Structure 1
Amino acid sequence: MKRLITAVTLVLCVITLGAVRVGITQIVDHPALNAVFDGIVKVLEDAGFKVGQDVLIDRQNAQGSMQNAVAIAKKFATEKVDIVVAIATPSAQACVQAITDRPVIFSAVTDPVGAGLIKQLGKNTTNVVGVSDMVPVATQLRLIKKIFPNAKKVGVIFNPGEANSVTLNNIAKSAAPSLEMTIAEIPGTSPSEMITALNSIGPSVDVLYIGTDNTAASSIEAIGNAALRLKKPIVAADIDIARGGGVVGFGFNYFQVGVETGQLLVELLKGAKPSDLESHVVGPDSLVLYINLDIAKQLGVEIPADLVDRADIVVRDGQEVAK
């Protein structure tokens, strides 16, 4: 009770003396990361904080550039924002490097330990806490095997400069042999490099897999068009990536990722320290199955009826229907 009273008092003092300044940075503009931002704002408002009055948000976008992400992190460090929220691995890495004297919340980071943000999931002793979106790669590969039982080679489109994508690629390589599949890497550090690699390597694979890669997400329309020309189906670990040209998507609802991130932010605004809170993976209840029957038909892919029945979102005859 004493702690609760102290936390409430701190909030009231902060609001009385002036608004809390929150810097929010994301690596690139795409629907999933934008949904994280929307979820954060929703939680703030539901908790009674008025955005623009009690909480002033400085939202920045690195436009896919690590150099910009570093510059934004240094900007936040210099301008002394009270709390920083970094959406996606590259932005989080930049902020954790630049800011050590104020709370940093990471969000939509696949492998925060491997990326050097924290030592372990759960509680840590530093100024960093957050939410991971580590997707179930082995389950996604089993999904590929169910839909494409004859698939032997899966092409993984990823940016080798993104720690999150490297992690998912390595997990896929470890999981594939048990399903009698191999992984063919289709790397690119920019959208144009990805398209070039896809055009070169794509013809030799049976299925394309895209994880939570920010470079791919920012250029998914071009990747989707290239995949259609090659007549190669895309299975994605991100629903919004799948919407850009995938046959199947199985991944998190990123608005919910934002909600869980916003809950951490609210706890900090109420007086908690990052070391009081636990870094965690977003709950499995947030996983969504997306199936595009129109693209499946274009590619001659037969989706098992039980999967269509279980899907949360189905596209048929140009209409997206959420069940």
Structure 2
Amino acid sequence: MPQFILDLVYGNFVKGLADFGYEHGRNVDVIRRFDMFSDRVATMGEMVALVKPDVIVAPATLQAVEARKATSTIPIVCGALADAVHLGLIASEARPGGNVTGIEPYISGLPTKQIELAMEIAPRARCAGLLTNMNDPKGPPQVGDLKVACQALGLSVVEADANTPSDIPGALATLANKKVDIVVVLQTNLLLVRCEQIGAIALEKRLPTVFGYREHVVHGGLVSYGVDLRWCYRRTAYFVDKILRGAHPRDLPIEFPSKLWLAVNLKTAKALDVVIPAALLARGDEVIE
């Protein structure tokens, strides 16, 4: 797993614990799943049986599903939860009702804003490419919303799906061959973890890219607008603190981030000969030069 992902998830969660007075080894023990066995990654069932944790922190939906299969009693907090009702993880966002709660980083209306952002940097665009990852529960809802947003702006859409790292080069090549004007990359686990690969290939193919996570822009993407995952993972400590003090996940409503983050990579823009409007730069929370 890339170091930046460990820093993003684990590092920010530890910072969140510190906000509530917790320090690993002093008044709380944090056991990372990949620390459990030296030769292989422990299964979730093995971890639950061996450690019997007071709470499980899952970085994303796929891990929350795995944890829920392993236990229906130990509290599970997820920092990036999606499609949780449909997957049977919670009864509702207001009253989760089971042993799962956390933060939902997918905000209604965000795909429309991302397409509008794409049109700001490529005002003459007529065709948008979507790099999808439909095996991830977060994928299909985003694709539906993005298509609606594109239709409203008169953009045609080309999709290319990637569900393994080896799929990514071919998917981006497909979008380049179709001569899309701009590419929107979905917010999923796989596409986030492979952000360096995506950034490098998109630059090679001269594809302007729009993302939901700033981490993509830090690693060579063009622009992003969406939830700040650093906040999400730091905020998971709030739920853990509540649970350790006696609260039950069923009574802790799902939270939604209140601020969105706009990041721009001017180095990538220069390499692609893309002019970033001054008004967009003025709104930026993070500009990489």
TM-score, normalised to structure 2, is 0.90
Superimposed CA distance per residue, residues 291-317 of structure 1 (whole angstroms, 9 cap, x where no aligned partner): 11221122121111111111111122x
Instruction: Specify the alignment match of 1:165 in structure 2.
Output: 139
Instruction: Specify the alignment match of 1:302 in structure 2.
Output: 275
Instruction: Kindly state the Cα deviation for residue 167 of structure 1 after the two structures are TM-superposed.
Output: 2.1
Q: Does 1:178 align with 2:149?
A: no
Superimposed CA distance per residue, residues 203-234 of structure 1 (whole angstroms, 9 cap, x where no aligned partner): 32111111222212222222222211211111
Pick the aligned partner of 1:92 from 54, 64, 71: 64
Q: Does 1:201 align with 2:175?
A: yes
Instruction: Specify the alignment match of 1:211 in structure 2.
Output: 186
Instruction: Specify the alignment match of 1:289 in structure 2.
Output: 262
Paired AA for residue 76 in structure 1: M
Equivalenced residue count is 281
C-alpha contact (below 8 Å) 1:158/1:165 kept by paired residues: yes
C-alpha contact (below 8 Å) 1:73/1:98 kept by paired residues: yes
Structure 1: distance between partners of 2:105 and 2:219: 20
Equivalent residue of 2:18, what SS? helix
C-alpha contact (below 8 Å) 1:76/1:84 kept by paired residues: no
Instruction: Kindly state the Cα deviation for residue 33 of structure 1 after the two structures are TM-superposed.
Output: 6.2
Pick the aligned partner of 1:102 from 45, 70, 74: 74
Higher strand content, 1 or 2? 1
C-alpha contact (below 8 Å) 2:61/2:80 kept by paired residues: yes
Instruction: Specify the alignment match of 1:5 in structure 2.
Output: none
Instruction: Specify the alignment match of 1:14 in structure 2.
Output: none
Superimposed CA distance per residue, residues 131-182 of structure 1 (whole angstroms, 9 cap, x where no aligned partner): 1111411111111122212212221112221111222122212222001113
Structure 1: distance between partners of 2:201 and 2:234: 34
Distance 1:183 1:30, change over 3 A: farther
Pairing of 1:186-265 with structure 2 (within 5 A): 186-204=160-178, 205-265=180-240
Equivalent residue of 2:103, what SS? strand
Structure 2: distance between partners of 1:236 and 1:30: 20
Superimposed CA distance per residue, residues 1-45 of structure 1 (whole angstroms, 9 cap, x where no aligned partner): xxxxxxxxxxxxxxxxxxxxxxxxxxx546356323223212222
Instruction: Specify the alignment match of 1:126 in structure 2.
Output: 98
Equivalent residue of 1:109, what SS? coil
C-alpha contact (below 8 Å) 1:115/1:164 kept by paired residues: no
Superimposed CA distance per residue, residues 229-249 of structure 1 (whole angstroms, 9 cap, x where no aligned partner): 211111110000122221111
C-alpha contact (below 8 Å) 1:131/1:261 kept by paired residues: yes
Paired AA for residue 167 in structure 2: E
Structure 2: distance between partners of 1:229 and 1:43: 38
Distance 1:185 1:116, change over 3 A: farther
Higher relative contact order (CA 8 A, sep 6+): 2
C-alpha contact (below 8 Å) 1:203/1:230 kept by paired residues: no
Instruction: Specify the alignment match of 1:312 in structure 2.
Output: 285
The sequence identity of aligned pairs, in percent, is 28
TM-score, normalised to structure 1, is 0.81
C-alpha contact (below 8 Å) 2:223/2:265 kept by paired residues: yes
Larger Rg, first or second structure (1 or 2): 1
Structure 2: distance between partners of 1:314 and 1:162: 29
Instruction: Specify the alignment match of 1:19 in structure 2.
Output: none
**Where does structure 1 lack aligned partners over 5 or more consecutive residues?**
1-27, 63-67, 317-323
Equivalent residue of 1:57, what SS? coil
Q: Does 1:73 align with 2:47?
A: no
Distance 1:315 1:48, change over 3 A: closer
Q: Does 1:47 align with 2:20?
A: yes
Structure 1: distance between partners of 2:61 and 2:103: 11
Instruction: Specify the alignment match of 1:34 in structure 2.
Output: 7
Equivalent residue of 2:131, what SS? strand
Paired AA for residue 123 in structure 1: R
Structure 2: distance between partners of 1:274 and 1:252: 23
Superimposed CA distance per residue, residues 47-92 of structure 1 (whole angstroms, 9 cap, x where no aligned partner): 2223123211111259xxxxx99x6321233122221111112111
Which is further off, 47-56 or 225-234? 47-56
